[in-house]
Amino acid sequence: MPPKPVHKVHGIDFSTAVMIDYDKCVGCGMCAKVCNETQMIGALRKADVKFPPYPVPRDGVETMNTETTRVKLDSTMCIGCGQCTHACVFGAMVPNSRVSEIFEAKKAGKKLIAVLAPATRVGISEAMGQQPGTTGEAQLIAGLRQMGFDYVFDNQWAADACTIEDTKEVLHMREHKSGPCYTSCCPAWINLVETRYPELIPKVSTARSPHGMICSLIKKKWVHEQNLKIEDIFIVGFMPCTAKKMEAARPQLATEGHQDCDISVTTKEVAQMLKENKIVFSVEKEEELKQTKQGKFDAPFGEFSGSAYIFGKTAGVTESVARYVYAIHGVKYDPSELKLSQVWEHTDKIQNIKIIEFTVKGNLFRAAVAHGGAAVAKCIEMEKELNVDVVEIMMCPMGCQNGGGQPRQAKKDLIPKRAEALDKHDKESKYGDCEHNAQMHEYIKKHLPTEHDVHEVFHTHYENRK
């Protein structure tokens, strides 16, 4: 049994991304420790032992931090990374769930559409009792159908589209010497830029995240193909990330007054849904289902390259861009030609900054990869001396595979095994780069025939919220 709280702060509070149940909080201080020392965000401050953390308000006014009350989470500098939920072993700090809305939408007659992220399929198998490094892709697809979803689409279709749009941005900034170009896939990073580093906004790729792209395309184009109205569908993103809940709520990511993604659900939450429906995972069942229609993604968003899988691991976006650059120059990609060097490492021996170099037809490309809040802060500080074309940022240490919505793994050395599962999927794919995704190219050409159309559906803008 967990220790009983002795403090006088009671009730539940939540931001868009996370929720704290003060009646479960024993005041261990681990959430505040990770927020400050690992992520360097400072949204929580450690209180005395056995007392809940103090949320730190943006305006600095802490009159609500008393013996019996706390400042509201949504008034802090929280970026939604969710690493605090990993740190909490007592279930006091968890993702803010809106799962009940799924069943309300189904009851209202809406068509349910699931969109799966790369890292979710390797996190879900672990959450369902399988060994780290296994995949539950087919079982998750089948399980979602069993729970009433009408369509199951793969976010990786849009990861291929995102690679193309990101590459355009990188090459443009490289040509005009206005970079480096910062990637935009990580919603916690976007929150950090807007609230702490707004001077970097001109350097951040305006390409939406893959999830932002596919949801936009579904609501702006696909619904009309199906003779549906936007209000007839309900899109649920199944993500490894708590910050995706904040991304889903961004006013910039909406169509005709409706959010492009209705709600975002974490790997932890969908695991609970599966268990409540008595759905069991096994290695044997995965092999069986991946050969069936029940275990495969629906068209038109079910075709993708191997490089889309590796979006879910650190340096995956960079490698996807590299593969595409090789492809558009007509050069066969050779992974051994990517030169990797580490230029900084955190004392936790997990976060670091690495440089990746590759040369295509005499042109040298340099990328920096930073994961974890401390590494990101250091990377920004080192921007000029790094001298790179692109900076890949993931706010969670080890990237999406260790996102705030993934199952908690006490043995940190086992988390990279999730990336090994993504690498296996990559190697088993029909082709390795997005240039060879003919179905995606044809669909985009049909529905987004001009660069203006592409920009309207696949790009966004950011705001200074400092």
Q: What's 30's domain CATH number? A: 3.30.70.20
- Are the beta carbons of 235 and 219 closer than 8 angstroms? yes
| Letter string b/e over residues 345-374, b meaning 16 or more CB atoms within 10 A of that residue's CB | ebeeebbbbbbbebebeeeebbbbbbbbbb
State the average pLDDT over residues 13-21: 98
Residue 207 included in any domain: no
Q: How many domains in the chain? A: 1
Q: Where are the beta strands (DSSP E) in 77-117?
A: 93-95, 111-116
Classify 363 as helix, strand or coil. Answer: strand
Residue 236 included in any domain: no
Q: What's the domain range around 41?
A: 12-95
Task: Give the per-residue pLDDT at 4.
Answer: 85
pLDDT bucket at 379, cuts 50 / 70 / 90? very high
Residue 222 included in any domain: no
The answer to whether residue 62 scores a pLDDT higher than 90 is yes
| Burial class of residue 163 (count of CB atoms within 10 Å of its CB; 0-12, 13-18, 19+) | buried
State the average pLDDT over residues 163-177: 97
**In the beta sheet, which residues pair with residue 444?**
none
Residue 87 included in any domain: yes
**In the beta sheet, which residues pair with residue 18?**
95
Residue 55 included in any domain: yes
Percent of the chain with pLDDT over 90: 99
Give 289's contacts (C-beta < 8 A, 6+ positions apart).
138, 139, 141, 142, 295
State the number of CA atoms in the 13 A half-sphere of 274 facing the CB: 25
Separation of alpha carbons 24 and 38, rounded Å: 23
pLDDT tens-place string over residues 334-358: 999 999 999 999 999 999 999 999 9
> What value does the mean pLDDT of the chain take?
97
Residue 241 included in any domain: no
The answer to whether residue 424 scores a pLDDT higher than 80 is yes
State the average pLDDT over residues 43-71: 96
Task: Give the per-residue pLDDT at 2.
Answer: 75
Separation of alpha carbons 221 and 224, rounded Å: 6
Tokens of 127: 């959450």
State the DSSP string of 169-203: HHHHHHHHT--PEEP---HHHHHHHHHH-GGGGGG
Residue 208 included in any domain: no
Residue 331 included in any domain: no
Task: Give the per-residue pLDDT at 253.
Answer: 98
Task: Give the per-residue pLDDT at 399.
Answer: 96
Task: Give the per-residue pLDDT at 3.
Answer: 82
CA 116 to each of CA 49, 193, 263, 450, 461: distance values in angstroms, whole numbers, following the listed order: 40, 26, 13, 28, 24
Given the structure tokens 């220790």, which residue do they identify?
A: 3
